[in-house]
A and B are shown apart, each in its own frame.
Chain A
C-alpha cells in the first residue's frame, strides 16, 4: 500500500494532462457558447477557423525563428499570437460582413445560419490546407519541461515521477488569465454588460439603446481571440493538424451543451468534465491500483475501461446522458 505514489502516478498521467486539455477545451467551448448566446446559432466552423488562426501563428513563428528572434525559455509562438489573433478576428469579421449579416437582417431561421457556417467551414478548411498543408506540424520551442520525471524523483525520492511540461503549465496560466479577463469584461464593463443583456433578451436590449452590430463585432472579436489561444495552446501541447482541430468540434459542443448553451461558466465546467472523463475512462488503472491495494490483491488486467481509440465515444456518451436527463445543461442554458 502506497497511496502517495498512486497519487503522483495519477497526477502525471491523468490530472495534469486533463487539466491542460480541459483548459484548451474550455477556451474553445467558451467561443461556441458566446456565439450561441449572442448570434443564436451553433457555429460549425469553429474548429476550422481555430486551425486557420493557428496556421497563421505557426507561419509567423517560423518567420520569427528564421529572423533569429526567439522568446527565451518560452515558446516563440507566444510572440506570434497577436498576429494570429488579428488575422483571425479580421477573417471572422469579414465572414460576418459577407455571410452572416445578411441572414441576421432577414431574420433567417437558426438552421440557415448553421448551413452558412458549413460553407464558411469549407472555405476556411481549404484556405488552411492551402497555406500550410494537411499534414502534421510541430512548432514548440523553448524549454520543454518546467520539471521532468527525473527532477521530481530526485527531489521527492518516490518511485513514481511527475512531469510538468512547459506547454501544460503555459496552457493553465494563459487559460486562467483569459477566463478571468473574460469574466471581468462580461461583469464589469459597459460593453460586457450590454452583451449579456443582448443575450438575455434581444428586444429589451434593443429598446434600451444597445447597438446590436457593435455587440456582434465584440462577440466575434472575443471568440476569435479565444479560438487562436485554444488552437495555439493545443498545438504546443500536442501537435497541429487541421483535421484534428475539426474533430475538436465534438468535445467543444459536448462541453458547451453540458454546461448549458449560452452560459460561459457552464462551458468551462463542462470542458473540464469532458476532459477528465475522456482521460479517466481511457486510462489503464492497473498501476494505480497496484499502489493502492495490498500486494496480493494486485489486479491482473489493464483496468482500462475503453481503448484510447474510443475517446470520442466518451464525449458522445456524456452528450447522450445530458440530452436524455438534462437537455438544458447543468447550469440551465437556453431552454429548448
Chain B
C-alpha cells in the first residue's frame, strides 16, 4: 500500500483548503461547502458505480437526483387533508389506471400473435386507457390545486421523519432507473446516454408542472428538519454558554452547530456507502462487473448475462444519486424544481468522477470534494481574473463592465478545461483504479 501517502495527502490538502476558507472567509461558509462536498461525493459515487464499474454512460443524473428529492417532500411534509378529500382518490385511481393501461399494452404486445389484430388491440387499449385516465385524473388534480393554493394546493406528504426519505428517495430513483434501463440497455451505449438525457428533462418537467404533487414552480418550503434550526438552537443554554466562552455571537455558534450536525449525518451515510462499495468492488461481483466492462464479448462467452448485470448496476448507481438528492433537499429544507439545471446537476458530477478517478470509490469522493470546492470558490476567482485581465481598460468601458457582470460564467470554462485536461493527460484520475 504505497500509494496511500498520495491519497492521504490529497484528503489533507482538501481539509486544509476548508480550514483556510473557515479562517479567512467564514466558518459557516466553510461548513456549507463541506456539506455540499459530502453530497457531491455521494452523487459522484453513484455515477462511479455506473461508469467506473460497468462503463454505463448516464447523463440524467439531474433527473434521478430531483426524483429522489421529491421523496423528502412526500415523506416529511404533513398531509393536506382537505386536498386528499378533494381529489386524492381520483388522482391515485387515475395514476393506477394509467399504469394499468401501459401494463395492458405490454401484455397485448407480448401475448398476442403478431398481425393486424394485435396492432388494433394495442391501439384500442392505449386510447381507452388514455381517455379513462384523463377523465378521472384531470378534474381530481385541478381540485387538489384549488385547495388553499397560496400555501398548499398539493397533497402533502406522510408527515414522517425526514431522514426516512433518504432510503425512499433511493428507491424512487432506482425504480425510475429500472424503467429507463429496461428500454435503453442492451442497445448501443450512446442510446442509454440519450434516453437518460430525455428522462431527466421529463422528471424536471413533471416536478415543475404537476402542482398537485410538488406544488410545481411555487416550491415546497419548510420541510421538517433533521437537525433543529439555528433559531431554535440559539435559545438552548449550552449554546449560550459556549458563545459566551468562545467570543462568537449566539447566532454564529448555533449555525455552526447546525451545519456540523448535518456534516456528521452525511459523513455516516458516505462512510457506509464507501464501505459497501469497496466490499462490492472487491467481491466476485465487482470482479465480474469489471470483466464485463473491459470485454463484454469475453464476459458473454463466459456465460454472464451482460444486459441484466448492466441493468442491476444502473439501478444501484441511480439509487445512490436519488439518495443524494433526498439528502440535498433535506439540507436545503425546500424543493425548488426550477433550480435544477443539467450543467450543475449532471455534467458537473461527471467532471467530479473523471477528475477524481473513475473506477475508484475514493477517487470519486475526492473528485466530489475538490470540484465542488472549486465550483464555489471559482466564482470570486473568476471575478478577480476578469478584473485583472481587463484592468488595462477604462473602468467605465462597455467591454469591461460586460465582462465583469458575466465573470461568474468563467467557472464553466474552468470546469470544462479541468475535464479536458484530465481526460487527455491523466485519464485515470487523481486516485487511479487499482
Contacts and interface: CB of A to CB of B under 8 A. Distances in A.
Given A99-B420, A125-B416, A319-B194, 5 more contacts: A116-B423, A123-B413, A130-B403, A253-B197, A312-B205
Given A125-B412, A127-B413, A307-B209, A115 B202 contact: no
Contact of B198 (A112, A122, A127, A312): A312
Contact of A102 (B193, B202, B350, B424): B424
Interface string B401-432: 01101110111111111011001100100000
B183 A129 contact: no
Given A116-B423, A118-B347, A126 B409 contact: yes
Interface residues of A, number: 48
A290 B347 CA distance: 47
Nearest to B421: A119
Interface stretch (A7-15, A22-30, A224-232, A241-249): A241-249
Given A118-B350, A119-B420, A320 B413 contact: no
14 contacts: A44-B193, A118-B350, A118-B419, A122-B347, A123-B412, A123-B413, A129-B406, A130-B413, A243-B341, A310-B205, A310-B209, A316-B199, A319-B194, A323-B187
A223 B424 CA distance: 24
Interface residues of B, number: 48
Interface of chain A, helix or strand or loop or mixed?
A: helix
B416 A250 contact: no
Contacts of B183: 320, 323-324
A220 B91 CA distance: 50
A307 B350 CA distance: 32
A249 B410 contact: no
Given A115-B350, A122-B419, A309 B411 contact: no
Contact of A312 (B189, B201, B414): B201
A247 to B, nearest CB: 7
Interface of B: 55, 57, 59, 130, 183-184, 187-191, 193-195, 197-199, 201-202, 205, 208-209, 341-343, 347, 350-351, 354, 402-403, 405-407, 409-417, 419-420, 423-424, 427
Contact of B416 (A126, A253, A307): A126
A250 B55 CA distance: 22
Nearest to B415: A122
A126 B347 contact: no
Contacts of A41: 190
A133 B427 CA distance: 32
Contact of B191 (A99, A257, A309): A257
Interface in A297-336: 305, 307, 309-310, 312-313, 315-316, 319-320, 323-324, 327, 336
